[in-house]
Structure 1
Amino acid sequence: MSERTIRGWVEDDFGIALHAVTPITEGIDAAAQTWRGTADDGERYAIKLSSGGTAGLSAQANLARHNLHGVPGPLLTRSGAIWSIRSGKRLSVIPWIEGQPGSEMTADQWFAFGRLLAGVHAMRVPEHLRASLRAESFRPHSLLDELAEVQSALARPATDSLVTALAAIWATHTGEIAYLASIAEMLGNRLQDKETPAVLCHTDAHTGNVVSNEHGVYLLDWDDAELAPPERDLMFVDHGGVLASAPVTEDQQASFYRGYRADRGNRNRDDSGAGSGSDSGADRERMLYFHCVRALNDLRELAAVVLDEDTWDRPQRVKALEHTRDSWGPSGHASRVLTMARQRSDTVAWS
């Protein structure tokens, strides 16, 4: 998409005249393109063109309308909507938040991040929005089917060096992937039969989507918001989080949970009183389920990038391969989840 086209759409739809538009290439999202736009008056904006759903942006707008600090609201179009449609996709504009990445937060900022997520989880969701949001079903079957498809694709002869390297990584960890898949399926079956809380969750609340500055802590990119138990978000702080490049330390986790509990108390504690790290009060089965599903989904998404030469350029595919390798390193999410699952199996009789 050309800079001129984006500038024209933003001015026509949102009434904002931009003199510069810069593509944002971090992250892997085949459904969206993102730019940083600078207006003639110097203001900066995050511009997104997405083929994904609209419920997440609606949830973000609802939080902003209720003045939840840390959730920047989408700007309105000339007609008063929170997005426009261009080329069959959703175009949205949000104020650009300047600041430090979430991985560099101080203890006080981790505390503020905890309070922010507590505010999100405590927010009442209007019925019209609740009806549009995906609800957690604890049914990972489509993910498991997609993992099997990746496994089949990697079993075929390949001439591309990146695909060959990826196939070698998957071959090394085939048994471990299958083990995590079996744990996810087993826990999913158990959790379907249990009553679980359903709150608004961001679902991708790792530090890569957090920015902090002198005004506070901000949680960005709400595209995948859904209704789920709090552990759906808490997993991004629990047991080191999900990023191999910036694992959450025990001190950071403790600061986060002090903030999270500040206004909520320990209302998420399960009947047994078992907590998960830093006395979070989280349900251990739900936490392990979400960790397993996240680790497997990341592996699937990264493999899809490496395998798709038509959509992704070589540097992006190289980065995806590196992230796959990192997933199984000492601080990698897949290897840490594997340890969690094995420890849980050693101490609990699944029945």
Structure 2
Amino acid sequence: MQTPPRGLPDDAVLEAVRAGWDPGAGSLTHLPVGYGSHHWATTGADGRRWFVTADATPDDASAARLAAAYGVPAAARAHGVAGAHGPVAAADGALLHRVGPWSVSVQPWLDGTAGGFSDRWADADAEAVVRLLAALHAVDAARTPAPLEDPALPGRDGLEVALDRCGRGEPLAGGPLAGAVAEALHSHLDAVRQALGEDAAGTSGAADGVLTHGEPHPGNVVRTADGPVLVDWDTARRAEPERDLWLVAARTDIDVTALYADLAGRVPSPGRMRWRERRWALADVAAYVVELAAAPAPDADTAWQLRSLRATLAGLDG
């Protein structure tokens, strides 16, 4: 995120880091990266560098799901997947420390270079990432803490409420950006409703057979001297391989389907790849609509979200 979280001061985050992981951690530096989670850097008295994350977890159930997902990279490494990097346990053995409606996690700083969400892969990088995903998918998912993917579209209920209100010409409830959200939705009501129907029809084809990262785009892969490393595991779930593969295929010219089939011994479904791409867009629309309508004030994050919402809606229309 581009701006620090409202209601979570740096002092509270630093206190959690010192209490759980490193008593000598120095001051925090907010890192304006990613979307959803908030990140900081800090250095301990012994020179160790840490990457600190805070995720919104308003209840015990959401914190438990996040802890399970954040336990996946360690489980993957234990099964031989070296390119999995994630949070480490605190002194009490927990991966998360709760700070009100937030959960703080800490991982060792990873030296390397990450890209951006929309970057395209160089051929060699794309091949290395597909090999990494094939190794991840080969892990016995049942022997890891990964939650089973919920077949329901995240945020569907809130999106349908917004669609109904816009369809009736009623204003959206919320803050100062609710009007801009309604305006963006109004021109794409039919396309979103059609996409929602297609999404619901496609849930019966999903599988729960492998361990997936969920978001293996260039922004979540760090290129290191030892090869690509996957980071940001909050979306780790047991699901079909296409959940990961479509996102790599969308950003490379290599034949991801053929390479994965050679490595994993199974041919990804083009239909499921298309469904996954459509579901990603719908989930983004749902998240942006709900979060933007409720935002108390505009800032750098809401400006980015509003641009993304408009672009994603236009893509659903295309």
Same fold (TM over 0.5): yes
Letter in 1 for 2:264: R
Report Cα offsets for 1:147-203 as digits up to 9, x if no partner. 2112245543479774333322211111111111111122224x27xxx45111111
Residue 6 to residue 78, structure 1, CA distance change in 2 (3 Å): same
**Secondary structure, aligned partner of 1:299:** helix
1:178 to 2:193 alignment: yes
1:60 to 2:103 alignment: no
1:4 to 2:15 alignment: no
1:83 to 2:68 alignment: no
Task: Give 1:1-351 correspondences, 5 Å limit.
Answer: 1-29=8-36, 32-50=37-55, 51=57, 52=62, 53=65, 54-87=67-100, 89-102=102-115, 103=119, 105-127=121-143, 129=145, 133-137=147-151, 139-140=152-153, 143-154=155-166, 155-157=169-171, 162-189=177-204, 191=205, 196=207, 198-238=209-249, 240=250, 248-249=251-252, 251=253, 253-254=254-255, 260-261=260-261, 263-265=263-265, 267=266, 269=267, 282-310=268-296, 313-328=298-313, 332=315, 334=316
Query: Which residue is 1:245 aligned to?
Result: none
The offset of 1:108, in angstroms, is 1.8
2:303 and 2:261 map into 1 onto residues whose CA distance is 41
Residue 117 to residue 5, structure 1, CA distance change in 2 (3 Å): same
1:99 and 1:147 map into 2 onto residues whose CA distance is 38
Report Cα offsets for 1:210-262 as digits up to 9, x if no partner. 22133321111111211111011112123x2xxxxxxx14x2x43x5576455
TM-score, normalization by structure 1: 0.74
1:258 and 1:186 map into 2 onto residues whose CA distance is 27
* Greater length-normalized contact order (CA 8 Å, ≥ 6 residues apart): 2
Residue 111 to residue 160, structure 1, CA distance change in 2 (3 Å): same
Query: Which residue is 1:275 aligned to?
Result: none
Preserved contact between residue 10 and residue 17 of structure 1 (Cα < 8 Å): no
Residue 4 to residue 14, structure 1, CA distance change in 2 (3 Å): same
Letter in 2 for 1:317: T
Letter in 1 for 2:224: N
Report Cα offsets for 1:244-287 as digits up to 9, x if no partner. xxxx14x2x43x5576455323x1x2xxxxxxxxxxxx213322
Instruction: For structure 2, list consecutive stretches of 5 or more residues without a partner in the other structure.
Output: 1-7
Residue 107 to residue 80, structure 1, CA distance change in 2 (3 Å): same
The offset of 1:144, in angstroms, is 3.7
Total equivalences in the alignment? 297
Residue 7 to residue 147, structure 1, CA distance change in 2 (3 Å): closer
The offset of 1:313, in angstroms, is 4.2
Preserved contact between residue 204 and residue 236 of structure 1 (Cα < 8 Å): yes
